[in-house]
Amino acid sequence: MTGNASPEDSCVATATSKLTTEEDMASLLNVKSQAEEFQGEYFSRNSRAEESRRTENRAATRIQSWFRTCKVQAYLSHLHKKAIIIQKTWRGFTARARFRQMVKAAYFIMKMNLYEEMAVRIQRRWRGFFVRKYVHNFYARKRYLEGLSIKNELVRRELDELEALQKRERDCLDVIKEQTGKVYETHRLHHLLSTKQCPGVFNSPFRPVPHETELLLRQVKYQVPTRPATRGRACLSGTSDSTAPSFPGSLGSPWIKTTTTSSSRPILPPIASKKQQVSWSKQGP
């Protein structure tokens, strides 16, 4: 046998050396056969155990991981439930505190609004009483308004009278201005007065009654102007000019500003270039 002999072989050898009898040899053979069977069974079982060791190891690992997972999940679930209880309690406490603060603020606002409304009512009553008694006395205001209405009627009547007076004055001034203008025109057109031999422009034989200007020309006497008139187109055309002469003893023109100047010789109105045509009316027998 080699040096790597198993312990069973050494035991068998020792037993063989000690037994000397046949019975011992028979028992030794029996033991030897059993040892061989034991070795074969041992090796077969070792091989089967080696083959199933990895599978069992993986199965054990799975079982342990599942158990640990369940354990951790249960612990986390327990912590989650406790955290929910803590958060619920804290949130309820904070919500109740905030609600109490809101109730206090709402009550304070309602109370201040009530006080303000009552103060406004008191101030309104007091101000109305003070104004009615000391500022705007009803009876004094009534007397004042009655006097004011009477005074307004008097002032209105006086204004109406003043307006009527001013209107009469304006009418008189208009009449005077119109008469003054007519007199001034009459002085300017005095050379057109009718004579016994030659009827004037305003005394046409075809008229049943002489013109108003003709009557004025008969009433106004010719007077020599006090300053020379400007010889020009205005004098020839017979239109009024700002330098037209004013006649003494008569009303001056309200539209033309006249000045009195000394003149050595009088100047007569201009004579037309053409002789006026006179139509003689037929005299009866």
Q: What is the pLDDT of residues 94-125, one digit of tens each?
A: 999 999 999 999 999 999 999 999 999 999 99
- Please give the average per-residue pLDDT across 164-180, as a whole number: 92
Percent of the chain residues topping a pLDDT of 70: 68
- Tell me which amino acid residue 229 is: A
Q: What is the pLDDT of residue 259?
A: 42
166 vs 139, which has greater pLDDT? 166
What domain range is 115 assigned to?
80-136
Residue 217, number of CB atoms within 10 A of its CB? 24
265 vs 212, which has greater pLDDT? 212
The answer as to whether 130 is a domain residue is yes
- Tell me which amino acid residue 140 is: A
Which residue in this structure is represented by tokens 């599942």? 66
SS3 of 20-59: CCHHHHHHHHHHHHHHHHHHHHHHHHHHHHHHHHHHHHHH
Judge whether 248 and 170 are in contact, CB under 8 Å. Answer: no
The answer as to whether 124 is a domain residue is yes
The answer as to whether 96 is a domain residue is yes
pLDDT in tens, 174-184: 999 988 888 88
Whole-angstrom CA distances from 37 to 24, 41, 128 are 20, 6, 132
Q: What is the pLDDT of residue 53?
A: 83
The answer as to whether 234 is a domain residue is no
Q: What is the pLDDT of residue 252?
A: 42
pLDDT in tens, 183-194: 888 777 777 777
Q: What sign for the dihedral angle of Cα 206, 210, 214, 218?
A: positive
| C-alpha closest to that of 247 among 202, 186, 195 | 186
The answer as to whether 91 is a domain residue is yes
Q: What is the pLDDT of residue 132?
A: 83
pLDDT in tens, 222-244: 666 555 445 444 444 444 444 44
Mean pLDDT, all residues of the chain: 75
Q: How far apart are CA 25 and CA 218, in angstroms?
A: 210
252 vs 53, which has greater pLDDT? 53
**Segment among 44-53, 234-243, 272-281 with least mean pLDDT:** 234-243
Instruction: Record the pTM.
Output: 0.30
91 vs 217, which has greater pLDDT? 91
Q: How far apart are CA 18 and CA 33, in angstroms?
A: 18
CA atoms within 13 A on the CB side of 235: 14
- Burial of residue 133 (number of CB atoms within 10 Å: 0-12, 13-18, 19+): exposed
Judge whether 194 and 215 are in contact, CB under 8 Å. Answer: no
Q: Give the H or E element holding residue 82.
A: helix 22-130
Q: What is the pLDDT of residue 269?
A: 55
Q: How far apart are CA 193 and CA 213, in angstroms?
A: 9
Q: What is the pLDDT of residue 264?
A: 47
The answer as to whether 17 is a domain residue is no
The answer as to whether 183 is a domain residue is no
Q: What is the pLDDT of residue 245?
A: 43
Q: Give the H or E element holding residue 171.
A: helix 138-188
Q: How far apart are CA 56 and CA 64, in angstroms?
A: 12
| C-alpha closest to that of 12 among 31, 36, 26 | 31
211 vs 104, which has greater pLDDT? 104
Q: What is the pLDDT of residue 22?
A: 64
Q: How far apart are CA 117 and CA 107, in angstroms?
A: 15
The answer as to whether 112 is a domain residue is yes
Q: What is the pLDDT of residue 220?
A: 75
Q: What is the pLDDT of residue 163?
A: 94
**Segment among 18-27, 120-129, 155-164, 221-230 with least mean pLDDT:** 221-230
Q: What is the DSSP letter of 253?
A: P
Q: What is the pLDDT of residue 18?
A: 53
Q: How many domains does the chain have?
A: 1
218, two tokens: 């008969």
Q: What is the pLDDT of residue 233?
A: 46
